[in-house]
Amino acid sequence: MDLEARHLAIMNLISLMDDRIDEATPSELGFLAWLFIYAKNATRANEIVRKGLDRDPSNPHLVKLSRTLKDQGEV
């Protein structure tokens, strides 16, 4: 898959997941946040991480992702 096709696939996945965000588990929210980071949208990634941590404050993936965003100055 070339770079443009990969980017398009990721953007489509983001759109599908974001449309159903209220149904997402904390782990799925973590995955969506990573997709937003890949898409260079750290602001939205941080919003998603906070939403996931509201649902499960002890989720290790979300806790680590929150730290990563904070360390990068994205919070």
Summarize pLDDT for 49-71 with one digit per residue, the tens: 999 999 999 999 999 999 999 98
Q: How confident is the model at residue 50, as a pLDDT? A: 97
Structural domain boundaries of the chain? 3-71
Residue 74 has pLDDT above 80, yes or no: no
- The mean pLDDT of 28-50, rounded to a whole number, is 96
pTM, entire model: 0.89
Structure tokens at 28: 């799925």
DSSP track, 13-69: HHHHHHHTGGG--HHHHHHHHHHHHHTT-HHHHHHHHHHHHHH-TT-HHHHHHHHHH
